[in-house]
Amino acid sequence: MKQEGKIAIWREYQKEIADDKYFYVRSCIRQNFFPGSEVTFLRILRDVLKKDVFEHPCHTTCSGIGYHGDVVPVETAMTVVARQFALMTEAGYTNYVPSCITSFGLYTEIIDTWHHFPEVEEKVRQKLKEATGREFNIPSNLAHASDIIYKFRKEISARAKYKLINHDTGEPLRVVDHIGCHYSKMFPSKGVGGAEYPYVLAGMIEEWGGEVVDYPERRHCCGFGFRQYLVQANRGFSVACSKEKFESMKPFKPDMIITNCPGCPMFLDRWQYVINEMEGTRYGLNGEGIPVFTYEEVAGLVLGFDPWDLGLQMHQTDCEPVLKKIGIEYSPEDKYKTGVKTFSQNQPALANV
């Protein structure tokens, strides 16, 4: 397709994103695996951009992983989500911002279902009232946290300490964007750029100086597949999906991967470790792995935050190749300094790639 055609399609899928007063709900997976990313999101929104972001201490899981693991019934998931909306309503907010893509997809699905089946919404309202005494309004604006960073990509760029540019060569870094399936595959009009040409991460990459890598399996699932990862016997599916993506992107020599889903960065990071352990294959340049980042981590690096404040030490695939290419100042000896039990880089189990 000609570039003009792509741009026209993207224009059809520009969504409205609120510009302030956000009710923020956390991601179960990200709190465990990428805690620094959620902290960084709030740091950028509150401290750098001076936005009002409210977090209710009594919000919970949306139950989405249980719903897509098929142990939580649809009526239950809807009512748990309705309770989250009730907390937003009680706090006086209308702009709902989930950190999680599974949650974002679930909220989108539920609001769409209620639109088509008002009797289902009414039943959920009754059940929520019966269970908790709460009532709710549907958010007037639902935007994923990556939509918010996309919206303010230029403001971040204006404050940038670093760009996604190789400081030795002056060339833009080659960046793979990986969009979580539930961001827009179910409801293309709810994502920036739709499902075929989602622009939410590509927009950040281009704004911050990088070059977007297009490759055949760009839109393929990372392989989470819920039960396909949650149960050990099924993980061959999960690693096979990621491997298919790595094999497909390798010829394009990406410097890094950026993601907007809770599970995807973890799988694309860990499965590189596993594939290296299983067969000795590494997909990055110079025998290294391909570093995998969340969009908040990349935004934080661009703004000059310390890599270890961002939580990059929690990655299994080393982030350092990208730090070096950009020319980011960091302290290697501080990486695993936290805690009483130290991480010896000489341990044979250490197979950081």
Partner 1 sequence: MGNLYDQLMKDVRFEEGLNACMNCGVCTAICPAAEFYNYDPRKVVDIVQGKDEEEITELLKSETIWYCGECMSCKTRCPRGNAPGLIIMALRALSQDLGYFVESEKGRQQLAIKRTIGDWILSTGYCVYIDGISLALHPEQGPVWEWVQENKTELLERLGGNYKGEGPGILRKIPDDTLAELKRIFEVTGGLERYSRIEEYSKRKAEEMDLDLNEGIDNEYFRHIYKTNNGSHTR
Rounded Cα distance between 351 and 333, Å, is 18
Which lies closer to partner 1 via its Cβ, residue 55 or residue 211? 55
Nearer to partner 1, 241 or 326 (CB): 241
Per DSSP, the residues of 211-255 read EEPP-TTTTS--S--THHHHSGGGHHHHHHHHHHHHHHHGGG--S
Least distance in Å: CB of 210 to partner 1? 25
Q: Supply the minimum distance, in Å, between the C-beta of residue 181 and partner 1.
A: 4
Alpha-carbon separation of residue 293 from 4, 118, 162, 164 (angstroms)? 29, 40, 16, 13
Tell me how many degrees the CA angle 259-264-266 measures, rounded to the nearest 5.
105
Cβ atoms of 192 and 203 within 8 Å: the answer is yes
In the bound state with partner 1, the residue whose beta carbon lies nearer, of 226 and 295, is 226
Contact yes or no for 275/309 (Cβ under 8 A): no
Q: Which tokens go with 48?
A: 């750098």
| CB 145, min distance to partner 1, A | 14
Whether 162 and 177 have beta carbons less than 8 Å apart is answered as: no
Give the pairing type, strands 211-212 and 53-54: unpaired
CB 241, min distance to partner 1, A? 5
Q: What is the smallest separation between the CB atom of 326 and partner 1, expressed in angstroms? A: 21
Contact between 311 and 35 under an 8 Å Cβ cutoff? The reply is yes
The CA distance from 91 to 56, in Å, is 8
Closest contact distance (angstroms) between CB of 250 and partner 1 is 18
Closer Cβ to partner 1, 153 or 224, answer by number: 224
| Residue 163: alpha-carbon gap to chain centroid | 20
Closest CB to partner 1 among residues 85, 210: 85
CB closer to partner 1, 215 vs 273: 273
* Residue type for position 238: S
Quote the CA–CA distance of 59 and 52 in Å, as a whole number: 18
Rounded least distance, CB 165 to partner 1, Å: 27
Nearer to partner 1, 117 or 252 (CB): 117
